[in-house]
Structure formats: structure tokens, C-alpha cells
Amino acid sequence: MNERITRLRGTMQADGLDAVLLSSQPSIRYLTAFSGEDATLIVTGSNAALLVDSRYTTQAVGAICDRPIEVIEITRANFLDAARALLPGSGRIGFEDERMTVAQRLGYDSLALEFVPWSKACDRLRLIKEAGEIGALRQAQAMADRAFAELLGVLRPGMSEKRVAAELNYLCGKLGSEEPAFTPIVASGQNSAMCHASPRDRLLQDGDLVVLDFGCTWHGYRSDMTRTVAIGQPSEPARQVYDIVREAQHRALDALRPGVTGRELDAVARGFIAQRGYGEQFGHGLGHGFGLQVHEAPTASASSEERLQAGMTITIEPGVYLPGQLGVRIEDCCVLTETGHENLVGATRELLVI
């Protein structure tokens, strides 16, 4: 954690900032180990302080331990006074523009400082994962793999999508997940053509394809996987679409190594799907990073120019969605290594028929 604060200061100074003011939970957890939902971290060239109210003081002190970060208990009424005492009297202050509300930002106007958007620079501090972070992601995905295996023994026709989502949440929690990595997607039949469908009351039926997109959390780190399974024997067109998506993912995984750009990786899967006549039905990017947030940098899409490096994370999740008919997505979460990648997902990518 001390090294992370040092890196933050280096980036801060390189950007010509006199201090940074961080308010998002992922940034604060990464830099301090504090996992509460309501806090503000102020870092200057020489000091760092975590501002919390009385609900979180004990938790914050326990998380900080011997780190060079002061914990200051504040109230809503004296927050600005506490911030004023920590921040320089003048200068440029970096803030998380993509996380802070307009109301929160306007509240700082009385400090008469120049506030500089700094979300992307802050997020990049987490881009290369350390060994401990990768270990936490492995554990989170191992729980998700086990939950998926147990879910297969429960799935049956007549269950609602909402019931399946509840079973997933229960199994992940039973196996040790701190919380769902995100609200699970369970989409069956025609609903599977909506790539981010919310679970509904629709009952699973023979012949359905069911998209299951979920993840587990360990020490704050979030996994992300998707499998599409069949309830009873699927139609031949459904099998054909599944095979196309599976092959597209296989080709992208074969191309996943340091040095490839997100755009090049996306093109591998997108090009194959387009060759098979479904290019217009693959509307989203191929993948995204994951860690303390389930969606974070880097990305793999048609506009992603960044070259992937060892230690970065990325999902590989091609999909084909036919409105009013069906959808297929297969997703693995991977970590770039020096020579290739580690696929954290152990579940089969073969079409499973329940």
C-alpha cells in the first residue's frame, strides 16, 4: 500500500497537481485497504488522510494499520473545514470526475482551488495487477466455477429466470463470495437476445438457450464469466450460432498475448463472426478489464488502440444476438502473462444440454 501511494504521488506530480481528492470506493480501497462505502482520501506531496464519519472510524483505523495515512473523523457539517485544512491554500487539485456527482463537485467551490479531472489517470494506477491481486481474482473465479457446476444440477424447465438468479447468488455466497460481483444476468429463450437482460418471471422451457453471466468477489476483487446452456435439445440453428461464438472466442484466446492491441484482438473474433454472416448481430466490444471493479481498463473493442501488457486483465466475450429468437455469449476472464495469458475460468465451453 505504501508503494501505491508513492506511485500516486509520482503520477500526481507528473501531471502538475498539488494534491488529489479521491472519493470512489475502488480507488480508496486500492490505496488504503479501507472497504467502506463512504470516505474521501486526500493526498498531497507530503501527507495523506482518509476522512470518514463515525460509522466507519473503527473500520478505517483497522484497515490503515501502519500505513502512512491519517484517519480523520468528520461530520457532514465540518467536512469542508477538514478538507480545507488538508489541501493547499492554492493550486491544482485532481479529482475523480467520472465518479463525483455535480452536487459534490459544486460543494468544493468555496475552497477556491482549481479542480482538474483525473479519473483516467487514477484508474491507470490499477491497470497492472500485482501478484496478490491476481491471487484474489483466481479465488473469486474458482468460486464462480464451483457455483456454475452446482447450478447445473439445479436447472430445470419451469424455473423462472429470477429463481435461477437467486440460486446463483445463493451458491456463490455459500462458496465464500463476499457479494455478487454484479447483478447476475439470466436470460432465456427470446430474452437471451438482449445481451444485458435483467432476470424476469419467464419460465425456462425445453429448447431454450439460457445465457448466464455472473461473478464472485474475494477481498474486493471481482470475477466475470458467461456460459450459455441449453434446456433440452436446442434447434440446429441455435447449435450453429453457438458453434460460431465458441470458435470466435477460441480464436481470440489464441491471439491473446502481450503486445496485441485491444482493436486487433477484437478484430479476430469480430472478423470470424462477420465471415459467418452475423457481424451485425455482435454489437458490443470483445472484452474489458476487471479487478476491484467488474468493468475497468483496458478494453478490447474496435476503437481500443492500447497494447496489452503482462499483468493486465481482460475478458474475452464474443456474442451473437438474434432479436426475437435467441442469443449466445461465452465469456472467460483472463490475465496477461509474459508469454501469453492465464485463463481463470475452468468451466467447459462446450454446449451443455440440461
Q: How many CB atoms lie within 10 A of CB 37?
A: 8
pTM: 0.95
- Are the C-beta atoms of 336 and 256 separated by less than 8 Å? yes
Query: Of 89, 124, 159, which residue sits at a domain end?
Result: 124
Place of cell 462477420: 274
pLDDT for position 67: 79
Peptide bond into 323 cis (omega under 30): no
pLDDT for position 54: 96
When pLDDT is cut at 50, 70 and 90, the band that residue 17 belongs to is very high
The answer to whether residue 32 is domain-embedded is yes
For the chain, give the mean pLDDT.
96
- Are the C-beta atoms of 49 and 41 separated by less than 8 Å? yes
Strands (E), 184-318: 185-188, 208-214, 217-218, 221-222, 225-231, 287-289, 296-300, 313-316
> Which uninterrupted H or E stretch holds 51?
strand 48-52
When pLDDT is cut at 50, 70 and 90, the band that residue 336 belongs to is very high
- Are the C-beta atoms of 156 and 145 separated by less than 8 Å? no
Q: Report CA-CA distances (Å) from 30 to 27, 35, 36, 268.
A: 5, 9, 12, 33
| pLDDT tens digits, one per residue of 24-57 | 999 999 999 999 989 999 999 999 999 999 999 9
Q: How far apart are CA 149 and CA 348, in angstroms?
A: 10
**Given a cut of 90, is residue 104 above it in pLDDT?**
no
pLDDT for position 275: 98
Same domain, 95 and 141: no
**Given a cut of 90, is residue 192 above it in pLDDT?**
yes
Query: Of 72, 104, 124, which residue sits at a domain end?
Result: 124
Q: Mean per-residue pLDDT for 153-164? A: 97
Q: What proportion of the chain, given as a percentage, has pLDDT over 70?
A: 100
* CATH number, domain containing residue 191: 3.90.230.10
pLDDT for position 109: 87
- Are the C-beta atoms of 220 and 136 separated by less than 8 Å? yes
The answer to whether residue 263 is domain-embedded is yes
- Give how many domains the chain has, as a whole number: 2
| pLDDT tens digits, one per residue of 60-83 | 999 988 778 999 999 989 999 999
Could you list the residue range(s) of the whole structural domain that residue 75 is in? 2-124
Same domain, 174 and 240: yes
Chain length of the chain: 354
When pLDDT is cut at 50, 70 and 90, the band that residue 119 belongs to is very high
pLDDT for position 66: 76
Q: Report CA-CA distances (Å) from 172 to 26, 144, 148, 292.
A: 21, 6, 9, 17
Same domain, 260 and 335: yes
- Are the C-beta atoms of 322 and 281 separated by less than 8 Å? yes
Same domain, 159 and 103: no
- Are the C-beta atoms of 56 and 36 separated by less than 8 Å? yes
Place of cell 480508496: 28
When pLDDT is cut at 50, 70 and 90, the band that residue 1 belongs to is low
Same domain, 93 and 185: no
* CATH number, domain containing residue 15: 3.40.350.10
Query: Of 84, 108, 124, which residue sits at a domain end?
Result: 124
Same domain, 177 and 311: yes
| pLDDT tens digits, one per residue of 309-325 | 999 999 999 999 999 99
| pLDDT tens digits, one per residue of 79-95 | 999 999 999 989 999 99
Q: How far apart are CA 353 and CA 279, in angstroms?
A: 26
